Amino acid sequence: MRKRQIEQMVDDDINEMENGMGIGIELDIETADRIVVLTLSENLECLELEQREIEELDSVPGYKQADYFSNREIISAIKKVLAYYGADL
């Protein structure tokens, strides 16, 4: 009995979220683009900070090495997207 009540509550929450998602929030393209640029810029700053921290380590653990190389690729991709939007880098 309890399991069914929990399942029903979850179903109700999902239905409420799905129905509430289309209730009139509209953004013009400039605002949406600005949100993208700001979000990517923040992420770029965090990744670049992490890269500098890794570079300053005397001994880099294996998992940090993997982060370092994947971060380089992500940073490159973010910079390309930001350049597309005309963001100052």
Q: What is the DSSP string of 13-62?
A: HHHHHHHHTTSS----HHHHHHHHHHHHHHHHHHHHHHHHHHHH-SS--H
Return the domain boundaries, the chain.
27-84
**% of the chain beyond a pLDDT of 70:** 76
pLDDT digits (tens, 9 = 90+) for 24-67: 678 889 998 999 999 999 999 999 999 999 888 888 788 788 88
Q: What is the dihedral of CA 76, 79, 85, 86, to 10 degrees?
A: -130
Residue 31 region, left (φ>0) first, then alpha (ψ -120 to 50), else beta?
Answer: alpha
CA of residue 4 relative to chain centroid, distance: 35
